[in-house]
Amino acid sequence: MQPISKPNARGPGSAEPRLPSRTFTSMGTVVSIAIPRAPGTAPQAAVEELEAATAVVEQLFNALDRTFSLYRPDSEASAMARGELALKDASTDMRRLYVEAAEWRNLTEGAFTAERPDGVVDLAGIVKAHAIREAGTSLLALGLKDWCLNAGGDVLVHGSPTPGSVQSWLAGIVDPQDRTTVLTAFPLSDACKQALATSGTSERGHHIWSAGLPATRDKGFRQVSVAAADIITADVLATAIMAGGLGALTLATSHWDVDVLAVKNDGGLLATPGFRNVAARNS
């Protein structure tokens, strides 16, 4: 990791023309699906395809939210938090995702954890990425080859925004100090990294824990973005680096094939070569 200068900030309006997309709200955030119209596809057929895909993804997100949300008193997660349901008696989905989160706790040396400081199981750090992963699998099962899923800034792509080409998708990263501007746009594609996740305190406050302790400003980062081959790795490591600071960042970049852009509390940037190259091209 090396420090870089902040790239020339670009407003959201400077992005390329918007692709056909639909949005819905779930898991406390906005989820969007963009599906470019393939050559030869009639406009109405493309609209119907997009709407059908959105319905599938929305149903999947809402089903997971009904199970894992601690903000829903009728959810399985809330029943566990109240002591009414033991983990061993929970659903297969709950137990499977908890095991995956526990494995990540070991891999990140405790920087990522599935429990809050009070001991309550809280899978919020992985369930949204899990929903994105499952949604991507569903879109592929529907025969869709070109799409972009964005759930609250966590992005997973497949194919290209220009069907039949090798053009990459561009995932914008918002400046946490000025959310009307974009720090940079990172290219995502099947050939390299298909996912990008961002974790920080600017939108949801201090909601990240490590080794049983809430993340604090002395951890050193205000926002962390991670690009990886899959959304789970990107999301978990972004959370782990926010919680664990420089030590977790060093661990992540030495053990996984990822690119990282970290915004320090003083506004400075640390970046891996992939992000430095993007910054150089945009400067």
Give percent of the chain above pLDDT 70: 85
pLDDT at 2: 57
Domain residues of the chain, as ranges? 2-282
pLDDT at 212: 44
Q: How many CB atoms within 10 Å of residue 275?
A: 25
> Alpha helix locations (H) across 22-112?
43-68, 76-81, 92-107
The more confidently predicted of residues 216 and 28 is 28
pLDDT at 13: 37
Least confident of 121-125, 164-168, 176-180, 185-189: 176-180
pLDDT at 220: 82
CA distance 229 to 190: 8
In this prediction, residue 211 has a pLDDT band, given cuts at 50, 70 and 90, of very low
Residue 166 has pLDDT above 80, yes or no: yes
> Alpha helix locations (H) across 158-230?
none
pLDDT in tens, 23-49: 999 999 999 999 999 888 899 999 999
In this prediction, residue 50 has a pLDDT band, given cuts at 50, 70 and 90, of very high
| Residue labelled with tokens 């493309």 | 46
Backbone angles phi, psi at 187, to 5 degrees: -75, 130
CA distance 193 to 144: 19
CATH 3.30.70.260 fits 2-282, yes or no: no
DSSP state, 165?
Answer: S
Residue 214 has pLDDT above 50, yes or no: no
Q: How many CB atoms within 10 Å of residue 142?
A: 14
Half-sphere exposure of 92 (CA within 13 A, CB side): 0
pLDDT in tens, 133-161: 999 999 999 999 999 999 999 999 999 99
CA distance 187 to 195: 10
